[in-house]
Amino acid sequence: MKLLVTGGAGFIGSNFVRRTIEGKLPGIEDAEVVVLDALTYSGNLANLAPVADSARYSFVHGDIRDAEVVGKAMEGVDAVVHFAAESHVDRSVRDASIFVETNVLGTQRLLDAAVRAGVKKFVHVSTDEVYGTISQGSWKEDHLLEPNSPYSASKAGSDLIARSYFRTHGLNVSITRCSNNYGPYHFPEKVIPLFATNLIDGKHVPLYGTGENIRDWLHVDDHCRGIALVLAGGKAGEIYNIGGGTELSNRELTQLLLDATGRDWSFVDKAEDRKGHDLRYSVDIGKISAELGYSPEVPFETGLAEVVQWYRDNRSWWEPLKERAAL
C-alpha cells in the first residue's frame, strides 16, 4: 500500500508516519509513505528524522492549496490520511483567513485530486471542537455541529466538504474526530508542551480564566492507532470519534504539570480568558470501539510523565522552536 500523509511533519502526522514506518500500526505495517507538508511554523523535518533513511519514506515539500503539487503527490497513491491543517485556536482568533484557506480550500483540493487519481480510501482527520461545547454527557458522531472558534468552524467546513465527496463522487471517505492530543514532538505553543517547557526552565505559565475548562486527553499513539483502524476497516461516509477517556479541567492539568516539574502555584499567572472559550469537550467512543475494536491503551499518568521527561531530554528540539516563535 502506498499512503499519502498530508501534514506529516507536524505533531500528530509525524507520529503516524514514524509508527507506520516502524510497523507499529495495525493493517499498514508494510506501507510506503509519502509525506506532503508545507513546513510552516509548526511543521518540522526533525520530527521525521528517526525514519528519514527508510526506503519506504519520501517527502514532498508543498502546500495542499496548490492543485499542481497535490496532483503530482497523489499519483500512484492507494490511500490518503489527511492531517494538514492550521490548528491553534488562539491564532485563529487573531486572523482566521489562513484557517479557512488551508482547512477548507486545501481539503477540497486534496479531495479533487483523490477523485481524479482513483484513490481507494481517504481518511480526513478532524477534531471534537466541531461539536462546540457540552455541559454533561458525551457527543456521538451524529451530534449537531456547533463550532465556536474560527479554527473549529474551518474544520467543520472541511468535514462537510469531505462528506460531500463521498455523497457526490463516491469517494471512500471516513472522518475521524479526536479529543485533545498530547505526546512527544508537540509544538510548544500548545498547553502541555508550553507549560512543561516553561516550568522546566523555572518560567511562569498562563492559566486562562478560572481554569475550569475541561478537556478529554488522548495520547498521540492511541490516536494514530485509532486512525489506522479507520483506514483499514472504517466504513465509507462514516464518522468515528477517537477519545482518550481522561477528562481534566485545565486547573487539574496545571497541578499535574506543577507536580511533575517540582513547581508550585506561584509559577502560574492568571490570564484573561480566550474569546469563545468552550467549557467542556467529551466524545463518545462507543462506535469505533464496537465496530473496529478501539480502546485507549496509554494511561494518562504514565503518558504525561513520559512526555515531561521527553521535554527534559530533548531541549535541542524545542528550545529553537520557542525562540523562533517567541513563546
* Residue 304, in any domain of the structure: yes
41 tagged catalytic: no
What pLDDT, on a 0 to 100 scale, did the predictor assign at position 302? 98
CA–CA separation, 143 and 125 (whole Å):
17
Name the residue type at position 322.
K
What pLDDT, on a 0 to 100 scale, did the predictor assign at position 282? 97
30 tagged catalytic: no
Last residue of a domain, one of 226, 242, 258: 242
CA–CA separation, 42 and 39 (whole Å):
7
What's the 3-state SS for 101-133? HHHHHHHHHHHHHHHHHCCCEEEEEEEHHHHCC
What pLDDT, on a 0 to 100 scale, did the predictor assign at position 89? 87
- Point out the catalytic residue in the list 37, 63, 86, 129: 129
Residue 312: pLDDT band (50, 70, 90) is: very high
Beta strands in the chain (DSSP E): 2-6, 32-37, 57-61, 79-82, 121-127, 173-178, 180-182, 205-208, 214-219, 239-242, 246-249, 268-271
Range of the domain at 146: 2-181+216-242
* Residue 14, in any domain of the structure: yes
Q: Which residue has the higher pLDDT, 156 or 91?
A: 156
The predicted-structure confidence for 210-257, as pLDDT tens digits, reads as follows: 999 999 999 999 999 999 999 999 999 999 999 999 999 999 999 999
* Residue 46, in any domain of the structure: yes
* Residue 294, in any domain of the structure: no
Q: How many CA atoms lie within 13 A of 204 on its CB side?
A: 9
**What is the arithmetic mean of pLDDT over 270-290?**
92
Report which DSSP code applies to 23. T
CA–CA separation, 110 and 96 (whole Å):
21
- Point out the catalytic residue in the list 131, 151, 182, 281: 151
Residue 261: pLDDT band (50, 70, 90) is: very high
The pLDDT of residue 325 is above 80:
no
CATH of the domain at 45: 3.40.50.720
* Residue 144, in any domain of the structure: yes
- Point out the catalytic residue in the list 128, 141, 159, 278: 128
- 83 and 207, same structural domain? no
- 223 and 264, same structural domain? no
The predicted-structure confidence for 64-103, as pLDDT tens digits, reads as follows: 999 999 999 999 999 999 999 998 788 888 989 999 999 9
- 206 and 156, same structural domain? no
- 198 and 231, same structural domain? no
- 251 and 237, same structural domain? no
57 tagged catalytic: no
CATH of the domain at 313: 3.90.25.10
**Pairing verdict, β 214-219 and 246-249:** antiparallel
Q: Work out how many domains the chain is built from and give that number.
A: 2
- 46 and 72, same structural domain? yes
- 129 and 69, same structural domain? yes
* Residue 282, in any domain of the structure: no
Of the chain, the percentage scoring pLDDT greater than 70 comes to: 100
Residue 153: pLDDT band (50, 70, 90) is: very high
What pLDDT, on a 0 to 100 scale, did the predictor assign at position 234? 98
What pLDDT, on a 0 to 100 scale, did the predictor assign at position 288? 98
pTM of the model: 0.96
Distances (CA, A) of 24 to 7, 244, 250, 287: 20, 19, 32, 23
**For the chain, what is the mean pLDDT?**
96
- 163 and 45, same structural domain? yes
* Residue 318, in any domain of the structure: yes
As given in the structure block, the three cell numbers for residue 113 are 485530486
What pLDDT, on a 0 to 100 scale, did the predictor assign at position 8? 98
What pLDDT, on a 0 to 100 scale, did the predictor assign at position 326? 76
* Residue 270, in any domain of the structure: yes
DSSP string, 50-105: GGTT-TTEEEEE--TT-HHHHHHHTTT-SEEEE------HHHHHH--HHHHIIIII
